[in-house]
Chains A and B, each alone.
Chain A
Amino acid sequence: MSSATLKKSAPADLQLATFYVGDLLLSLPIDFVQEINRNLDLTEVPHAPPHVRGVINLRGDVATVIDLRRILGLGAAEVTPQSRNLIVRCGDESIGLWVDRIADIISITPDGITPSPANISGADGRYFKGVYRTDSEIVVILDVDEVLSVE
């Protein structure tokens, strides 16, 4: 029962936090996002799965940071001045998503969401809930549960 699905049925606007991973403009319903930080001081974890970049100290807790590029099949992310951790709450755990650049927060009407094609810019479509076309760009809505379920 996420707030996203609740809002879908309501006529009210849906707020999306958008960000870039490679050339893809991805988004998440804003309620999922706990915080965005620049804590890129990762501790590598031996024998971790390839899509785990490492762990960070999130105010006294140890949070896993996931490399979205790896999950989407885009190759490992690079550290740039724009790199950020998007911390999402998932169950009782906070998990970081490593993104290349943070973009705007946009308001959309849920009616405008269309099903996503099987493949967008070489990324695996099963992690997408749908796409939304703005005037200039296509915003892909990420399926957080699917992304975080990768073992």
Chain B
Amino acid sequence: MSFDDPALLAEFVTESREHLADIEGQLLEIESNGADIDVDLVNQVFRAIHSIKGAAGFMGLIRINELAHALENVLGKMRTKELAPNSRIVDVMLKAADALSGLINDIEASNDSDVTHHVELLNEIYESSDVAVHEDEPVAPVVEQVEIAPVEETVEPVQMREEIAPEPVDEEPVVKKPAASKKAAAADHPATSRNASTPQVESSIRVQVGVLDRLMNLAGELVLGRNQLLQTVNNADGNSMQAVAARLDQVTSELQEAIMQTRMQPIGNVFNKFPRVVRDLSAKLGKQCNVVMEGGEVEVDKTIIEAIGDPLTHMVRNSVDHGVEMPDTRAKNKKDPTGTITLRAYHQAGKVRIDICDDGGGIDTRRLKDKAVERGIITKDRASQMSDRDAVWLIFHPGFSTAEKISDVSGRGVGMDVVRTNIEKIGGSVDIESVLGKGTTVQITLPLTLAIIPSMLIRTCGRRFAIPQVNIVELVRVRSSEAAQRISKVKGAHVLRLRGTLLPLVELDRALNFADSEEGLDRKDRPRQIVVVESGQFRYGLVVDEIDDSEEIVVKPLGRHLKSCVCLAGATILGDGHVAPILDVSGIAAKTELRTHEQEDLEDVNLAEVAGAAERQSLLLFTNAPQEMFAVPMSLISRIERIRIDQIDTVGGQELLQYRGTSLPLLSIDRYIKAQARPDMANVHVVVFQIHGREVGLIAADLNDIREVAAEIDGTTFREPGVAGSIVLDDKTIRMIDLYELAFTAHPKWFEDKPTAPVDEERVYNILLVEDSSFFRKQAREYLVSEGFTVVECEDGQHGWETLNHEGHGIDLVITDIEMPRMNGFELTTRIKTDPELSKLPVIALTSLASDEDQHRGAEAGVDDYQIKMDREKVLSAVWRLVAPKQKVRKSVSAKNAKPEGILS
């Protein structure tokens, strides 16, 4: 069919879409209100449908008219409370509304479509409703009836007339009046409509997308102009020019922001369709689900709104399908039979976060692993090593669907990997967390906009590139002197040692095929600029020649001939007019066949295994004289200062640092142990630690690294007062400094008031020391014995437990390590604390890495105190406090570790 006025038709389509936009949510609300009809709400829907019907009749769109008419009839009866909505009725209405949208979206063909099925169903409801009326709602509240009375009267005749004479063209003049008077009626009692929970339609203007895009381009060019001007001003100089530039800068930013604002849309636009999705899907699956939506008002760019629709739908469907259990299963597990799916949007650190949570069964990682092994995604060994957290990530693996059988709900070949890829494509990221039996939370992080992004400009081989800031984790400069140490080759690939982890390196010039020399990273004699980048599963260091500046750039798409360039995410125009490609961090990773986190973790596990199950601890590595490396446990260090050598005073042979009004005694390693003298240098570092209630500084000429080390400590070869032992790292022998002994050697006087073994007490205390590392065992024994205790040593928890049961009653206190073979410290503690005979025995747990989680676990097991291994002062004070609580408190007991005595007695 043809229409005389295509513009009018287009107008009709736009308007009808607006009318239909909210209808789904409104119908669902009508459904949930049930017999307690919200007349205002029904009126809103009625008016929307009525307008569509009228206009459609006027334009000769007979099918739309027909369907809208049938729908309106049913709504009319609901409005007068002759018909109580239930889910069956609303179901029919929802489907009819869908069909109506379908007709409007394909307006040209609408008259040839068949809607009789929907019309019949609606008419059935309409006609049968006479019976239902009196049962459901015999008497409506009087007040409401009075209020709505005028509206009804004006509308009723319209309906009558329509039924008699359904000739559409006649209708138009009639329609307008009641519609207008209804609006007036609604305005008369705003108090009642205000509290309706249906979201108010925001006052907004309609802007052509083309216009918006043009505005956006203009803003882009303005930004470019500003960049050019800024550069000109920097080269020349002149105050007035600078003022102009500053102003232009400000205006541009504001304009940019304002224009961005026009593109911003509430995320609720996407959220709104989910109640329906969940309702239909849960009905189909026989489940019960509620949807809770929060933060629908959070605004993001329209491009992002468009891009996240599908991934979000997929995840919501997943939550219903795989997450929420069947009602009887839920009841069995003492959960509310109705599951809840929560959609939450909020701003965080300049980004938008969306959480999709369900309170369903969670992800069964064991099943997931089995499936992954079955499909050859991971090996059996890997599966057994995988933590639950890593295992959950398996669902993002390509071709992975957890559904037992393929249904039309999920398992359509489109898996979570596609969701992840799509979200990463727009610069976002996905994370997932799941607790078996409790539920699953998927967290999506999105940028606010895609058009103008902050980025970092870098250079390689004389060419400039931009890296989006969202991908940048940090910038690292490796000095040429450190290069050999920090950059090494593992299995043919370069890695950077960064705070105890190995970070894979990608040489940008090679990744982009620009490399002119063969050596690359194998040449160790020059400094390196490394941009540590992250995207989804990849995290690596990008080796570049120079890091220039950060700049807001306007993203320009690349032409179609360059679509195959996976390393690029587009291009931008710089201040000087040159084009700079924007690097795609995940594209480069894929191109260079970088391994993902998963594989990386696997590697770590292997490395750890090679090193043996030795204890990990964090060490500060430093040199005093070149090539002579020392280490101090990080856990003992209060802070590190960098000072000029001329700040050091010498008073009576003691080096002092005047610092914050007090003087800090300094220790030079070479004065107390066998070591080369520190060379002359302008600046040194001072490692500050606490001994015996005093702050002491250890002079460290050069700091090298902080490493988490699992190596076995050799406690004999280099043992001397002040040196606890040695470890071998990267083929270098490093001596571990014993700060306590060093301080004691330097200043025995400080320790004169140190409590010694109490001779006046009736007996000597017996301590059971359970520790698998012979080094730490030896060290602890030394200081415990020197304090006057008798020490019984055991190599692991099992041995300790046996010993306790053997000679149990002679032991006054247990000091145990946490990580041990056969039986760990937590288990040993739990056994002691649950044993009727031993439960009063105090237990001190020793650890090299005190994490909150460990502390928590320790407290759960019943540990009386928690101490760091190398901190002998605190360990000793804790021992004293626990074995002899009634003795007066010793001097060095720190308030922080004091525990109420009640728990011990």
How close is B477's CB to chain A, nearest CB, in angstroms? 24
Contacts of A150 in B (CB 8 A): 561
In the complex, identify which listed stretch (B216-224, B539-547, B864-872) lies at the interface while the others stay far away: B216-224
Given contacts A55-B571, A57-B578, whether A46 and B558 have CB atoms under 8 Å apart is: no
Given contacts A46-B514, A60-B217, whether A66 and B567 have CB atoms under 8 Å apart is: no
CB within 8 Å of A: which B716-741 residues? none
Given contacts A41-B578, A45-B568, whether A62 and B557 have CB atoms under 8 Å apart is: yes
- Do the beta carbons of A46 and B573 come within 8 Å of each other? no
How close is A113's CB to chain B, nearest CB, in angstroms? 28
- Do the beta carbons of B577 and A49 come within 8 Å of each other? no
Other-chain residue from B556, B564, B568, B581 in contact with A61 (beta carbon distance below 8 A): B556
- Do the beta carbons of B561 and A47 come within 8 Å of each other? no
Contacts of A56 in B (CB 8 A): 579
With CB as the reference atom, state the residue of chain A lying closest to B574. A57
B565 within 8 A of A: yes
Q: What 1/0 flags go to A61-92 for Cβ under 8 Å of B?
A: 11110100000000000000000000000000
- Do the beta carbons of B559 and A47 come within 8 Å of each other? no
Most buried by B among A44, A46, A95: A46
Given contacts A62-B558, A62-B573, A63-B559, whether A45 and B581 have CB atoms under 8 Å apart is: yes
How close is A57's CB to chain B, nearest CB, in angstroms? 5
A35 within 8 A of B: no
B562 within 8 A of A: yes
A48 within 8 A of B: yes
Bound together, the chains give a CA A34 to CA B570 distance in angstroms of 23
A14 within 8 A of B: no
How close is A144's CB to chain B, nearest CB, in angstroms? 14
A135 within 8 A of B: no
Other-chain residue from A45, A60, A95, A151 in contact with B220 (beta carbon distance below 8 A): A60
B560 within 8 A of A: yes
Given contacts A43-B581, A57-B577, A57-B578, whether A52 and B562 have CB atoms under 8 Å apart is: yes
With CB as the reference atom, state the residue of chain B lying closest to A55. B579
- With an 8 Å Cβ cutoff, the count of chain A residues facing the other chain is 24
CB within 8 Å of A: which B549-587 residues? 556-562, 564-568, 570-573, 577-581
Interface residues in chain A, defined as those with a beta carbon under 8 Å from any beta carbon in chain B: 41, 43-49, 51-52, 55-57, 60-64, 66, 93, 95, 148, 150-151
Bound together, the chains give a CA A51 to CA B559 distance in angstroms of 13
How close is A55's CB to chain B, nearest CB, in angstroms? 5
User: Can you add 17 more A-B contacts, CB < 8 Å, to A43-B581, A52-B562, A64-B561?
Assistant: A41-B578, A43-B580, A45-B558, A46-B511, A47-B512, A47-B564, A47-B591, A48-B562, A48-B565, A52-B561, A60-B220, A62-B558, A62-B559, A62-B571, A62-B573, A63-B559, A64-B562
- Do the beta carbons of A43 and B567 come within 8 Å of each other? no
Given contacts A41-B578, A57-B579, A60-B573, whether A47 and B556 have CB atoms under 8 Å apart is: no
Bound together, the chains give a CA A62 to CA B570 distance in angstroms of 9
Given contacts A43-B580, A62-B571, whether A49 and B559 have CB atoms under 8 Å apart is: no
Contacts of B565 in A (CB 8 A): 45-48
The secondary-structure label for the interface of chain B is mixed
- Do the beta carbons of A43 and B579 come within 8 Å of each other? yes
- Do the beta carbons of B558 and A64 come within 8 Å of each other? yes
- With an 8 Å Cβ cutoff, the count of chain B residues facing the other chain is 31
B513 within 8 A of A: yes
Bound together, the chains give a CA A49 to CA B560 distance in angstroms of 11
Contacts of B134 in A (CB 8 A): none
With CB as the reference atom, state the residue of chain A lying closest to B509. A46
Most buried by A among B224, B557, B562, B577: B562
- Do the beta carbons of A49 and B557 come within 8 Å of each other? no
With CB as the reference atom, state the residue of chain B lying closest to A52. B561
How close is A88's CB to chain B, nearest CB, in angstroms? 12
- Do the beta carbons of A43 and B558 come within 8 Å of each other? no
Q: List 27 A-B contacts (CB under 8 A).
A: A43-B580, A43-B581, A46-B511, A46-B581, A47-B568, A47-B591, A48-B562, A48-B564, A49-B564, A52-B561, A52-B562, A57-B577, A57-B578, A60-B220, A60-B221, A61-B556, A62-B559, A62-B570, A62-B572, A64-B561, A66-B561, A93-B559, A93-B560, A95-B561, A148-B561, A151-B561, A151-B564
Contacts of B556 in A (CB 8 A): 61-62
With CB as the reference atom, state the residue of chain A lying closest to B220. A60
Contacts of A62 in B (CB 8 A): 556-559, 570-573, 579
Q: What 1/0 flags go to B240-277 for Cβ under 8 Å of A?
A: 00000000000000000000000000000000000000
Contacts of A41 in B (CB 8 A): 577-578
Given contacts A56-B579, A60-B220, whether A47 and B513 have CB atoms under 8 Å apart is: yes
B489 within 8 A of A: no
CB within 8 Å of A: which B282-314 residues? none
Other-chain residue from B566, B571, B573, B578 in contact with A47 (beta carbon distance below 8 A): B566
Given contacts A57-B573, A62-B559, A93-B559, whether A43 and B564 have CB atoms under 8 Å apart is: no
Contacts of A51 in B (CB 8 A): 561
Bound together, the chains give a CA A148 to CA B578 distance in angstroms of 24
Contacts of A49 in B (CB 8 A): 561, 564
B463 within 8 A of A: yes
Bound together, the chains give a CA A99 to CA B249 distance in angstroms of 39
Bound together, the chains give a CA A61 to CA B572 distance in angstroms of 9
- Do the beta carbons of A60 and B561 come within 8 Å of each other? no
Other-chain residue from A47, A52, A57, A64 in contact with B567 (beta carbon distance below 8 A): A47
CB within 8 Å of A: which B387-427 residues? none
Contacts of B573 in A (CB 8 A): 57, 60, 62
How close is B561's CB to chain A, nearest CB, in angstroms? 5
Contacts of A60 in B (CB 8 A): 217, 220-221, 224, 573
Bound together, the chains give a CA A7 to CA B599 distance in angstroms of 63
Contacts of B560 in A (CB 8 A): 64, 93
Contacts of A63 in B (CB 8 A): 559
How close is A65's CB to chain B, nearest CB, in angstroms? 9
- Do the beta carbons of A55 and B558 come within 8 Å of each other? yes
Bound together, the chains give a CA A56 to CA B562 distance in angstroms of 13
Bound together, the chains give a CA A125 to CA B308 distance in angstroms of 46
Listed from nearest, the 6 A-B pairs whose CB atoms lie closest are A64-B559, A46-B512, A43-B579, A62-B556, A62-B571, A47-B565
With CB as the reference atom, state the residue of chain B lying closest to A93. B559
Bound together, the chains give a CA A146 to CA B241 distance in angstroms of 50
With CB as the reference atom, state the residue of chain A lying closest to B583. A46
